[in-house]
Structure 1
């Protein structure tokens, strides 16, 4: 009788000290797996600076109407243009007579840079701030050199997710942007069967061999983007 009483007292003391999971015959649950936290993508200015915006984001109310699908940043021709975020170069070449570089980022986001003489090539994996090429002069609508714009040039920087245009300044926390979870891999653009390039076209314009267009609207040199 005393032996049974001593065992009961010892069991009760152990439960008070170690908790109910110590009870004989009760398995200890395995430790939960650590939660993997995926950091949000980090972005920076595509120019050493920070540069001064000379024309801000002004998207058109309808895709085929004129607008400004990005921002223009003052910079001197010859300035190094850098990747605003880590990703993969999707396109580097001519679009509607202008040299363009497009970088794909996780989550379906793309950034475009023009006019840029490319030093990177499609398929290149680039880190944050990696050089993409050299800024050229002559971007349409860019102010010429003067007292207000001594550099005499500017970089057109665009951003979009799928076919939705975004304000690239929002990537820097300077405006609203809707970032999706980082899950989708980045795939380089490949030419379509009809000679068009599905990915890498500047600001969503669809480029065809021997011509260009955007959702049925012809894209001409000098069209505002």
Structure 2
């Protein structure tokens, strides 16, 4: 993983609203869960897409070049696009930025994959 989640203190505050996963240009991007494509556009030079899942959580992916359209239904593991060329906030490396949001709240995507945060305790 290139960068981890850092929740913003406020809606417009600084933070990292997802995780960055190292990858290569042209790599397949797959849906993290069943859902419907609810956004696909280029924002700040980055191809972005969002999938709203049956749970109500919305996953966001960037930079992803996709032929899917808003309203298309996808299944978990289905290819939804490829890592696109162009702006990448991990430059000079290439990464997939994966975000998760429920309503207005940004969520750490890692727990959705069964990952847990490790907390180191002092040795007595």
State the partner residue of 1:79. Answer: 27
- 2: CA distance, partners of 1:102 / 1:85: 12
Q: How far does residue 143 in structure 1 lie from its aligned partner after superposition?
A: 4.5
Q: How far does residue 136 in structure 1 lie from its aligned partner after superposition?
A: 2.0
Return 5+ residue gaps in structure 1 as ranges: 1-52, 145-151, 177-225
Return 5+ residue gaps in structure 2 as ranges: 118-124
Task: State the secondary structure of the residue aligned to 1:77.
Answer: coil
Q: Whose helix fraction is larger, Structure 1's or Structure 2's?
A: 1
Q: Whose strand fraction is larger, Structure 1's or Structure 2's?
A: 2
Task: State the secondary structure of the residue aligned to 2:38.
Answer: strand
Report the structure number with the largest CA radius of gyration.
Answer: 1
- 2: CA distance, partners of 1:153 / 1:96: 17
Give the structure-2-normalised TM-score: 0.87
Aligned residues: 116
- 2: CA distance, partners of 1:82 / 1:119: 13
- Regions of 4+ moved over 6 Å: none
- 1: CA distance, partners of 2:43 / 2:8: 20
